[in-house]
């Protein structure tokens, strides 16, 4: 049986993660006032981003997941100094949140044409006879129903 080092947490709450969620929280407070016609509506801008909306490469750095990726590598790469199982959800949850926030921010900046083109491949896959809807989701539920009724899949 292999003997490994004592697990020590390798992850931290991310600075960008906290700053982006704090800015989003403050933005939503302002949006509430705008909905009530007490303030003008403002577009959400990520923390530490003051670039032009035309500067597409600048969209990524405010949502960088480098800290989480480095901490993940530190947690799993050395069996003599391993991280803990808690390290994995720490990097996953924070990284996923930042990723979703970046995708939403990028999508808001799409032109109508770019928005249609970006979704075209996904939509083609959705309508395909072996696509994710017919064979994926519907097929999955049909198979669960068959198994539930004792039928062969």
Higher pLDDT, 26 or 127: 26
Q: How confident is the model at residue 2 (pLDDT cuts 50, 70, 90)?
A: low
pLDDT band at 132 (very low <50, low <70, confident <90, very high): confident
Is 90 in contact with 18 (CB distance < 8 Å)?
no
pTM: 0.71
Query: Is 60 exceeded by the pLDDT of residue 9?
Result: yes
Instruction: Summarize pLDDT for 33-88 with one digit per residue, the tens.
Output: 999 999 999 989 999 999 998 899 999 999 999 999 999 999 999 989 999 989 99
Kindly write down the DSSP assignment for every residue of 27-46, as one continuous string: HHHHHHHHHTTSS-------
């Amino acid at each position: 049986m292999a003997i490994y080092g004592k697990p020590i947490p390798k992850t931290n709450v991310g600075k960008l993660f906290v700053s982006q969620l704090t800015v989003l929280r403050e933005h939503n407070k302002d949006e509430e006032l705008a909905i009530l016609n007490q303030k003008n509506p403002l577009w959400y801008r990520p923390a530490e981003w003051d670039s032009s909306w035309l500067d597409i490469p600048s969209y990524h750095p405010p949502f960088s997941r480098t800290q989480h990726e480095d901490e993940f590598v530190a947690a799993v790469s050395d069996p003599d100094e391993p991280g803990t199982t808690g390290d994995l959800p720490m990097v996953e949850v924070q990284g996923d949140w930042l990723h979703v926030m970046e995708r939403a921010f990028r999508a808001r900046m799409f032109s109508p044409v770019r928005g249609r083109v970006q979704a075209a491949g996904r939509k083609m896959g959705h309508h395909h006879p072996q696509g994710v809807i017919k064979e994926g989701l519907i097929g999955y539920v049909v198979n669960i129903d068959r198994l539930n009724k004792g039928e062969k899949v």
